[in-house]
Amino acid sequence: MQPTLIFMGTPDFAVPPLELLHASGFKIPLVITQPDRPKGRGRGLAAPAVKEAALRLGCEVSQPPKVRDPEFVARITALAPDFLVVVAFGQILPLSILRIPKGGPINIHGSLLPKYRGPAPIQWAILRGERQTGITTMLMDVGIDTGDILLQRAIDIREDENADQLHHRLANMGAEMIVETLNRLRRGTILPHSQKHDEATYAPMLKKEDGRIPWKQSAERLDALIRAMTPWPGAYCFWGQKRLKIIQARALHDTTFHAAPGTVVAGFPDELRVATGHGILLIQQIQVDSGKRMLVKDFLRGHALVPGSVLS
């Protein structure tokens, strides 16, 4: 008989694990996610990705504003789950909930713990120039991503990969690993081991202003920043009063130009090359504020961003 689990998650990252657990035959009497939130220019209420997936799968959904509410804790207790599976849920769970599942509360985290604990591990791994990252499944405790490790697997970060692309690969990897983790826990073939806490690093939530491009940095670091900030919060700069969102770029190790950082330098007619603190950044995709994404060659047809122009 397959075990019973309660699933807790909110964004897209949590959808593949929910779908695979359901397809693998696990009993999921309840899916818990965050309340609907205003979204978009119209600020209409939008359901979390996990809610939409759960309803599609025929699962019951609950959206408590606060999971520590005693009545809600009593509801979970009454379900007597074997496991609690938590994936990017968005609320800190109290001990009263962590103690409920007989087999333990299990979390999927998008890094190789103890590196990059916190809410934005994928973005920070790219931003810091890591060559590898991965998925960790762990037993949860009252700390933030401090629990004992169950399974851990690494993957290479591709040189041109942005956070959205890496997010997709890790979400699917996490789905496979949570099924394996639960099955091996049932068979008793996993030995939890503690993290090396003195090696821990933290990946804080990103803010919109984190996407502002500091042209004094090297082209290589700016390439990493743009990839890390895509799709959110987005890497951006200003051309006069016009806000430009940089979607894709590539670092060129060209030191023949001696222009101030942020200055557009000469290139081929359909190119946009910008001087940085070291090297040249070749911008490949761009978006004018409130406009659509476009290739630079298309953008340049309607915008006179000529050599000597300055981006700030």
What would the mean pLDDT of 280-295 be, rounded to a whole number? 93
Q: Is 190 contained in some domain?
A: yes
Q: Is 309 contained in some domain?
A: no
Q: Is 77 contained in some domain?
A: yes
- Quote the domain boundaries for residue 245: 208-302
Tell me how far the alpha carbon of residue 299 is from its chain's centroid: 29
Q: Is 173 contained in some domain?
A: yes
> Domain boundary at 199, 228, 257, which?
199
pTM to 2 decimals? 0.94
**Domain shared by 179 and 231, yes or no:** no
**Domain shared by 80 and 56, yes or no:** yes
Q: How many domains does the chain contain in total?
A: 2
**Domain shared by 246 and 194, yes or no:** no
**Domain shared by 177 and 40, yes or no:** yes
Task: Return the CA Rg of the chain.
Answer: 22
Give me the count of residues in the chain.
Answer: 312
**Domain shared by 212 and 193, yes or no:** no
Cβ neighbours, 10 Å, residue 299: 20
Burial of 61 (0-12, 13-18, 19+ CB in 10 A): middle
What would the mean pLDDT of 218-226 be, rounded to a whole number? 97
The DSSP bridge pattern shows strands 27-32 and 61-62 to be: parallel
**Domain shared by 158 and 243, yes or no:** no
Q: Which amino acid appears at position 286 of this protein?
A: I
Confidence (pLDDT) at 43: 72
Read off the CATH number of the domain in which 155 is found.
3.40.50.170
Q: Is the pLDDT of residue 42 over 90?
A: no
Read off the CATH number of the domain in which 255 is found.
3.10.25.10
Confidence (pLDDT) at 132: 98
**Domain shared by 86 and 193, yes or no:** yes
Cβ neighbours, 10 Å, residue 237: 22
**Domain shared by 128 and 168, yes or no:** yes
d(CA 247, CA 63): 34
Q: Is 150 contained in some domain?
A: yes
Tokens of residue 167, six digits: 């997010």
Q: Using an 8 Å Cβ cutoff, are 9 and 87 in contact?
A: yes
Confidence (pLDDT) at 18: 98
> Domain boundary at 172, 199, 226, which?
199
Q: Is 311 contained in some domain?
A: no
Question: What DSSP element (H or E) covers 285?
Answer: strand 280-288
**Domain shared by 152 and 227, yes or no:** no
d(CA 222, CA 282): 11
Q: What is the pLDDT of residues 110-124, one digit of tens each?
A: 999 999 999 999 999
Q: Is the pLDDT of residue 44 over 90?
A: no
> Domain boundary at 199, 230, 264, which?
199
